[in-house]
Amino acid sequence: MDRPLTAAELFDAVGHGYEDAFGRPPTVDAAVRLLLERLPDSARVLDIGSGTGRPVAGDLAAAGHRVMGVDVSAEMVAIAREQVPDADFVHADIREWDSAAGSWDAVCAFFPFLQMTRADTIKVLGDIARWLKPGGLLVLITIPMDVENLEVPFLGHTVRITSFAAPDLLRHVEQAGLDVVETDSSVFSPDREGQPDEEHLLVVATRKG
Ligand SMILES: C[S@@+](CC[C@H](N)C(=O)[O-])C[C@H]1O[C@@H](n2cnc3c(N)ncnc32)[C@H](O)[C@@H]1O
């Protein structure tokens, strides 16, 4: 195939292999713990790019939160529904999905932006700011890099990723109407030979107002 794989094609092909290789990276673990500490009881949590449903939706649903995952990969949605029956999973492209304004206590976005254009990421950040309740939390994790359409190996595939350098991402989060309250970064080594180490940037932001 000449054209790069779409996110749906890539994650349909990767399926359970994602969890096997990436499991519970320390930054994801820290983000889940932060949410468990700060969320009100029975919080409404939107997980964008919910993948296999583990660990994020699984841990939050087990703590009594009402979690909805949205993922563009039908295979990932099927796996998540089977693994985490206590959460809801929707098969949709977040760029075309919508929700009521001010309706979520928290939005998680752990790595869904790497296969979006920069313009799409900026648009979705604006949507997230609108969807959150005032004071609601955005918890985002990404690989911070000043790249567009960079070819990288990913679990036996070649994919093109687009991202922002950390200061540019933080500026776009603020411009969306969110206050960045915390950041953290660590280097993660996937459990798969040939899969390079990657930096994980955690950004915690709250909706103003
Ligand atoms: C790298 S995986 C991470 C999964 C999960 N968030 C985690 O950290 O374990 C990225 C997920 O985002 C999903 N994704 C990518 N682009 C998306 C889009 N436009 N709309 C919804 N989901 C998307 C992929 O299908 C994939 O399941």
Give the nearest ligand 1 atom to 73 CA.
Answer: 25
Q: Is 27 in the pocket of ligand 1 (CB under 6 A)?
A: no
DSSP string for 158-193: EEEE----HHHHHHHHHHTTEEEEEEEEEEE--SST
Give the nearest ligand 1 atom to 10 CA.
Answer: 25
* Predicted confidence pLDDT, tens digits, the chain (209 residues): 557 789 999 999 999 999 988 888 999 999 999 999 999 999 999 999 999 999 999 999 999 999 999 999 999 999 999 999 999 999 999 999 999 999 999 999 999 999 999 999 999 999 999 999 999 999 999 999 999 999 988 888 889 999 999 999 999 999 999 999 999 999 988 887 777 889 999 999 999 87
Q: Is 110 in the pocket of ligand 1 (CB under 6 A)?
A: yes
Q: Is 99 helix (H, G, I), strand (E, B) or coil?
A: coil
Candidate from 32, 72, 117 with most ligand 1 atoms within 8 A of CB, to mutate: 72
pTM above the 0.85 mark? Answer: yes
Q: Whose CA is nearest to atom 15 of ligand 1?
A: 112
Predicted local distance difference test score (pLDDT) of residue 142: 98
Q: Whose CA is nearest to atom 12 of ligand 1?
A: 49
Candidate from 28, 83, 115 with most ligand 1 atoms within 8 A of CB, to mutate: 115
Candidate from 79, 108, 110, 159 with most ligand 1 atoms within 8 A of CB, to mutate: 110
User: Among the CATH numbers 3.40.50.2300, 3.40.50.150, 3.90.1150.10, 3.40.50.40, which is that of 7-207?
Assistant: 3.40.50.150
Neighbours of 153 (CB within 10 A): 12
What does the angle CA 37 – CA 38 – CA 40 come to, to the nearest 5 degrees?
A: 110
Q: Is 111 in the pocket of ligand 1 (CB under 6 A)?
A: yes
The Cα 61–Cα 74 span in angstroms is 21
Q: Whose CA is nearest to atom 27 of ligand 1?
A: 51
Per-domain residue ranges for the chain?
7-207
